[in-house]
Structure 1
Amino acid sequence: MRRAVGFRSPVAGPSGSGKSDLALRLIDGGGRLVADDQVELSLDAAGRVMARAPKPLAGLLEVRGVGILPVDAVRTAPIGLIVDLGADDPIERLPEVETCLLLDRPIRRVALAPFHASTPAKVRLAAARLKAGTLEPVPDRP
């Protein structure tokens, strides 16, 4: 896990996969940075996985082509969604529900293409659906 923004959605992927670019677009759309490059994980009293920036990185974001800049950041945030960044081809239209374990807690995972214009909106929608209680590829309809 390499990038995290404050609305419960760490963004993961290899170097050069678009993590900083997506984080910057999410921040530009109202998201809040927790940490750039790495996060420290812990459990809170309720058993939620929490992300925190290591002290030397707190409040800093690497913006390729510009430099390392101070940004408005949150100190900690709960993690409810992992966004794995990948190429366009392997992204499933209607994926199976996936989770990954962080500190032995299952966290919902989605795979997205980082450079699509719609990716920040997809992250916000997925986070909102999780907060509302469900994120299913095909919802049950009455």
Structure 2
Amino acid sequence: MALRLVDAGALLVADDQVLLTADTPSAPTAVLIATAPERLAGLLEVRGVGILPVPFAPSAPLRLVVDLMDRDAVARLPDPAAVSLADVMVPRVALWPFAASAPATVRLVLATLAAGLPLVPPTWEEVAA
């Protein structure tokens, strides 16, 4: 999934190991900052090839947790979810990483969150109205 996002223009922050630090000690306003351990910065494990250098950002705010799940475990219209990491609530979605739309879904969810919009799916009644 990380390789597909990088191929679509995203910058890698970290692959298998991610360091999280809060930008402020106050939990209600804190943002978690993600970084890679120094020796792993800019490196991505590419299955069947090895560990390769890719374009990367040294750090980034953690805006979304993506759980990579089996296709059958991903709900079609899930309720919004979040996870508490270091007392900071971070939105959470589950995706099947092999779906052709998976990288686009991550980009759309991040854009939705950046616009301040909720990840609440409308009801069928709202759609039909």
Q: Structure 1-normalised TM-score?
A: 0.80
How far has the Cα of 1:138 moved from its partner?
2.2
| Identical amino acids, percent of aligned pairs | 53
The match for 1:63 is 46
Q: What residue number does 2:120 align with? A: 136
SS in 2 for 1:125: helix
Residue 32 of structure 1: aligned partner: 11
Give 1:112's aligned residue.
95
Matched residues, number: 121
Structure possessing the higher relative contact order (Cα contacts under 8 Å, 6 or more residues apart): 1
Unaligned runs of 5+ in 2: none
> Corresponding residue for 1:86?
69
> If each structure's strand is expressed as a fraction of its own residues, which one has the higher value?
1
**Consecutive aligned runs of 4 or more in structure 1 exceeding 3 Å deviation:** 139-142
Distance between the aligned counterparts of 1:67 and 1:111, measured in 2?
27
Larger helix share, 1 or 2: 2
| TM value normalised by structure 2 | 0.88
Shift of 1:114: 0.7
Instruction: Please provide the CA RMSD for this pair.
Output: 1.7
